[in-house]
Amino acid sequence: MKRCSKAYIYKDNLKYNIQQIQKVVGNNTDLCIAIKADGYGNNAFLTASIAQSLGINKFAIATVDEAIELRKQGIKSELILLSLCVEEEFEDLFSYRITPLVFSNEYIDLLISYSDKFFKNNEKFPVHLAIDTGMGRIGCYPEEAGEQAKLINNSKHLFIEGTCTHFATSDGISEESIEFTNVQINNFKKAIQNINEMGINPGICHCGSSAIAITRKDVHFDMVRPGIITYGYYPDEITKEYLKSKNIDFDLKPVMSLETKIVAIRHFLKGKSISYGRTWICDNDT
């Protein structure tokens, strides 16, 4: 079927954006690029392939199915699952070497039990311990981190490759937003300390998405997880203006453009409303 609308992906712009991120983040912080939802619609396989050519070997995905598709396409880099999966997906999780986020004794116990059945020898399988520092989604509370790390550490096959959290207001520059982000940062540090006090290595510590990656180098920890900026968009205009005000040398190019054919042109008088819910009203004859 012939389609009138087309999406164009600009590989050079994608490469440029990744290099811009690498430049602003620096050599001491790893990158885990978010390629969930087919790379935000920009083709996950293409994004991963270009990023791999630039030395990046970790990618964040949202579902087990996304990871399987990338594996079948030949992506061998580490794929970190940012959401939980159900027991029916455990076999694929281990078979395709998909690194899960874990939290709660019940979930960890299920993974330990399955790993004991899946692995025949002394193979080790990486997991990242998720901490809920204020987002209210997945993750254990900071004061629970040590005990859950101990549970993982005592298992035969699982090991803590990383410890992570996610911010609720990191793209905001209001005093309230910054204050809450700082509260989350302190909670994350407490969780890491809790794990260390158990004599356990928390592994790769990571908490920052796009906004943190380009505005808060002080809290990059070991790795950041840029998403939307990879594809040429700032988290919001406020972030873009903030970078300018701080003279931070950072620039992005759009990775996708959409083209379509015009099938009709309508003329409306001032005051005419358009679409469901009267979404838009003409200010002038249009």
Q: Which residue, chain included where needed, has tokens 């928390």?
A: 202
* Residue 270 annotated in active site: no
- Do residues 154 and 130 make contact, with C-beta atoms less than 8 angstroms apart? no
Q: Which residue, chain included where needed, has tokens 């912080």?
A: 29
Question: Which residue in the list 120, 246, 261, 276 is annotated as catalytic?
Answer: 276
Could you report how far apart the first and last alpha carbons of the chain are, in Å? 34
Question: Which residue in the list 8, 11, 36, 231 is annotated as catalytic?
Answer: 36
Judged by DSSP in three states, 129 sits in: strand
Nearest partner of 256 among 3, 6, 52, 7, judged by Cα? 7
* Residue 40 annotated in active site: no
For residue 197, give Cα distances in angstroms to 50, 139, 147, 200, 223.
40, 19, 10, 7, 22
Positions annotated as catalytic residues are: 36, 276
